Amino acid sequence: MNSSTSSTKAPSRLYSVRFARWLARLVWNRRTGWTLVCILSLITVLWQWENWRSAREMAAVHRRVIERLGTDDPIALMPPKVADEDNYFANPVFESWLHLAPSTPPHPRYTPPSNALLPAGFIRPENLVGDDGDCDKLDLDNWIKKQRGPSNGPASTVLARQLADGNGLLPKLAEGLNKPFSIIKPGQREALEAVGDNPWNVSLPDFHGLNDFLLQLGLHLRSAALDRDVAKTQNTALIMLRVSEGTARGGMVGCLIPLAGHGIAFSALHEAMSHPAAWTEESLGRLQVRLGQFDDLQQYQYAHGQEILGVLFQLAYLRKHRDVLSEWVQGGYLGSWWEKLARDAFCFGMIHGPIGCHDANVAFYTECMLDQLGPPGPEAWLTAGSRSETVLQRSKAENSWPNPRRILGAIAIPHVGNITRAAAQVLFRRRCLIIACALEKHRLKHGSFPASLDRVKDDLKLYYINDPARPAQSLNFRLEPNGYLLWSAGADAKDEGGQAGKDWLWHMKHEP
């Protein structure tokens, strides 16, 4: 039986071996060998070619970065380290609100209590939106009608009494207003050092509900001005400005947040300054100095530049730490099987593909960002919209089919045209407030506003208050009944004589 079994199985194994040998000879021959050698040689040549030409692109864009920004070190553009004794954000109230937010990974966040500056059950008055250039005003007539029980006095007095000192927080927030810096903690340099210089793990703090917190401060400011509370008006105005400035840091997010914050602050300041009894020469001087220490367009250019350098810094780190790159591209994923397959192929190419593809994408992104940034100077914002549109059209054209050398860079390119215009408008309002401080000080001394800005030029000589649309010329000024008008030539840089809808306007009308 054993011999019978062996005799039946032996031929089967013999045929299998023969078939394997025949198949090997069929597949592996000289032609196949030479074909594989040629394919591998071609891949090697293309691999090296891609690395070589992408390295040239990176070198060229690096020269542009140095020429435009003056440095290739992102740390050079980061805010300086500031000791607590010099930083307004070392205020104990802010520090009590700072904790790690529940996220992955956790990051620091300032989280004030809801309605921190308002009494329990407080009904917020609405704002009446002013006409073009006019200030928004509190709608106290409708607000007083919503109150429960007797009003016990004018609406402005009732509002001031209800708001009081913001649950005791306003006097505490006024501590340290004279400190030279206002930088949210921890700063960029401290955050980078805390993670061993790994830019992918840097976690910068945010301020939860910042806009609403500023709106609460703005309500206190408007109320204090209506109630002629000089001390509260001055301190609340300065608190608003310091908080808005403190959120300014590098990168686009660090530009947009203070822009929104200053917009809220300037709206409240506009109404507050229409009540002259709430101001003194001293408080106007302090406000003027604070306003003059920040330039919204310069902050935008600084943030844009740091955005560029940050990408180059991150690339340099990833090239030295492929494990970090692997974790980044292979993060958690949900989707269909073919989407997962496509992502796995992408991850493999990112991690094991030629470094030239990485460099090409970063070089393309950096070049486009430099084109959007444009030349230095206060007039660059006027053409930022057209530059941004040109960049986006170019990106779209170069990615009419999926281009591995462009696709990632193109995805990351932001549209910045509207940001620059918003920054210019906020800067216009800032400069109007600086001029308004000088005009109001003149009125306090002489009983009326001057006929021209020449009469207050000595008070303005330390400040750059020219028209953002025409940096070589001053903002336009015209006396009007019960006040005056300041205007800018606006986004088209064409002066229409203060015409609504064409120029940017800023009216000051004193309220009784």
pLDDT, one tens digit per residue, over 95-142 is 999 998 877 677 899 999 999 999 999 999 999 998 889 999 999 999
Q: Is residue 1 scored above 50 in pLDDT? A: no
Residue 5: predicted pLDDT: 47
**Residue 503: both structure tokens together:** 């120029």
- Report percent pLDDT > 90 for the chain: 58
Residues in the chain: 512
Residue 6: predicted pLDDT: 47
Q: Once rounded to an integer, what is the mean pLDDT over residues 70-84?
A: 89
Q: Give the chain's largest Cα–Cα span.
A: 129
Query: φ, ψ for residue 505 (rounded to 5)?
Result: -115, 155
Average pLDDT in the chain: 87
pLDDT-based confidence at 2, cuts 50/70/90? very low
- Is-contact 391 410, C-beta < 8 A? no
Lowest mean pLDDT among 16-30, 218-232, 434-448: 16-30
> Whose CA is closest to 76, among 89, 65, 60?
65
Residue 253: predicted pLDDT: 82
pLDDT-based confidence at 212, cuts 50/70/90? very high
- Report percent pLDDT > 70 for the chain: 88
Residue 317: predicted pLDDT: 78
C-alpha to C-alpha distances, 477 to 220, 263, 467, 484, nearest whole angstrom: 30, 22, 11, 7
Domain ranges of the chain: 2-59, 67-74+302-419, 86-279
Residue 461: predicted pLDDT: 94
CA 162 to chain centre: 35
**CA atoms of 423 and 373, how far apart (whole Å):** 13
User: Does the global pTM surpass 0.85?
Assistant: yes
Residue 331: predicted pLDDT: 54
**CA atoms of 225 and 223, how far apart (whole Å):** 5
Q: Once rounded to an integer, what is the mean pLDDT over residues 471-486?
A: 94
Q: Is residue 16 scored above 80 in pLDDT? A: no
**CA atoms of 273 and 439, how far apart (whole Å):** 11
In b/e form, how buried is each residue of 132-146, taking b as 16+ CB within 10 angstroms? ebbbbbbebeebbee
315-357 pLDDT, tens digit per residue, is 777 777 766 666 655 555 545 666 667 666 666 666 666 778 8
pLDDT-based confidence at 4, cuts 50/70/90? very low
Q: Once rounded to an integer, what is the mean pLDDT over residues 64-87?
A: 91
Higher pLDDT, 329 or 237: 237
Q: Once rounded to an integer, what is the mean pLDDT over residues 212-223?
A: 97
**Residue 230: both structure tokens together:** 């000089």
